A and B are shown apart, each in its own frame.
Chain A
Amino acid sequence: MTPLPASEIRSAGEPIDADDLRTLAAIRAIYQASDPAPSDLADRAKFAMTVAALEAEIAEITSSEHDLAGVRSTVYERAATITFSSGHLSAMITIEVMDGGTARISGWVTSPPVWVELRERSRTQTTTADEDGRFSFASAERGLVHLVFRRTDAPEERPVITPAIEI
């Protein structure tokens, strides 16, 4: 790395002035126009936070595949397979969009037995994973959903929730 000239080192210690603010404003304008946060990101975060108040453990999305490969997309559109994992379990779900605007969700979770909750905007559906860890929801509303996993044999254990996903 080339050392900075003395004039730049001196300049670095000076207070930000009007020219700097103009420079920063231009950088801001360029990035805001070129790469804005998705318009629904704040809303999705707020939706997710209402569930996070459960003191649940948060699973992270470890991979997702869309059938619209190569298409730039900021939501989980159409059929998609998403994998989640947390310290306690991993889960994989496949979302298939059905005619009539609903979606079918089928999934598999490690360490059964677990209850699986599907939290939609306006309702919550619950099912139990079978002994192989398989579960499904035949009809989910399109929109934001979360999954919540709770062990049936250890109800006192913290539940595991996934981030909100758009289906």
Chain B
Amino acid sequence: MQAGANAGSLAEQAAAAFQEYRSGRGDGMAELVDSTTSLLWHTARAQGLTQQQAEDAVQTTWLLLVQHASDITEPRGVLKWLLTTVRREAWSTVRRARREDARDDLTDVAPELPGEDLDPEDMVVRGADQRVLWRHFATLPARCQRLLRVVALAERPDYAQVAESLGMPVGSIGPTRGRCLAKLRAALTADPAWEVTP
């Protein structure tokens, strides 16, 4: 499924599964949960939630989808709805953890997000390529790391939708590189240890 551009984007798969669920046919909702939970998890974790907070945010997002299924008029928007919801849940968790006024939860202003809860020792970085990449990736601004983590877990055609759901409009139509990826690319290109494919 993650293999490449031929499989159809996650947004399309999600839309098809959601449509099936809405029409009462088949097991659309189960398919949607199976295909999208991983992306929601990485989105929640990229906002700095602990593992347990991220599990709760993902579960709550799915419960909210059941309750709001009839409000989503355009099935193609379901992936974006899910990403936006899990991101809001995550931000609200971050605020609550700081005992701030939870009534501000619905604003779209990013709280100061905590660092990611990843122990460098837990990182599994295999092979020379990944080591070079990780070295440069780790120097990117935190917001770029968050964005690229989620974008990388999605599919290329979904890039714009994903960025927008995170409150980071890509500023142009279609899957362009965007500034974060451009910055990483510039760093990698300047590094002789990173072999650019011909």
Contact = CB atoms under 8 A, between A and B. Distances in A.
* A and B together in one complex: yes
Interface of A: 1, 4-5, 7-9, 11-16, 18-38, 41-42, 44-46, 48-49, 52-53, 55, 58, 60-62, 64, 72-74, 161, 163-164
Contact of A58 (B60, B134, B148): B60
Please report whether the interface of chain A is mostly helix, strand, loop or mixed according to DSSP: helix
A37 B43 CA distance: 11
A22 B63 CA distance: 35
A83 to B, nearest CB: 12
Please report whether the interface of chain B is mostly helix, strand, loop or mixed according to DSSP: helix
16 contacts: A8-B186, A11-B185, A13-B172, A16-B177, A20-B177, A20-B185, A23-B181, A24-B151, A37-B38, A38-B51, A38-B55, A48-B62, A49-B29, A60-B60, A73-B52, A163-B59
Contact of B181 (A20, A28, A48): A20
B126 A164 contact: no
Contacts of B183: 4, 8
Interface of B: 2, 29-30, 33-34, 37-38, 41-42, 45, 51-52, 55-56, 58-60, 62-67, 96, 118, 122-126, 129-130, 133-134, 137, 141, 148-149, 151-153, 156, 159, 172, 174-179, 181-186, 188, 196-197
Contact of B37 (A28, A30, A42): A42
A35 B178 CA distance: 25
Contact of A4 (B123, B151, B179): B179
A88 B13 CA distance: 37
A7 B177 CA distance: 13
A21 B29 CA distance: 29
Nearest to A47: B59
A144 to B, nearest CB: 11
A48 B52 contact: no
Contacts, number: 158
A45 B36 CA distance: 11
Residue among A8, A32, A36, A45 with max Cβ neighbours from chain B (10 Å): A45
B59 A44 contact: yes
A72 to B, nearest CB: 8
Given A18-B197, A26-B130, A27-B137, A74 B51 contact: yes
A41 B55 contact: yes
B149 A27 contact: yes
Nearest to B132: A26
Residue among B118, B174, B182 with max Cβ neighbours from chain A (10 Å): B182
Given A34-B118, A41-B58, A28 B130 contact: no
A74 B55 contact: yes
A16 B133 contact: no
A23 B183 CA distance: 12
Contacts of B55: 38, 41, 44, 74
A26 B152 CA distance: 8
A21 B37 contact: no
Given A33-B124, A35-B42, A52-B63, A23 B118 contact: no
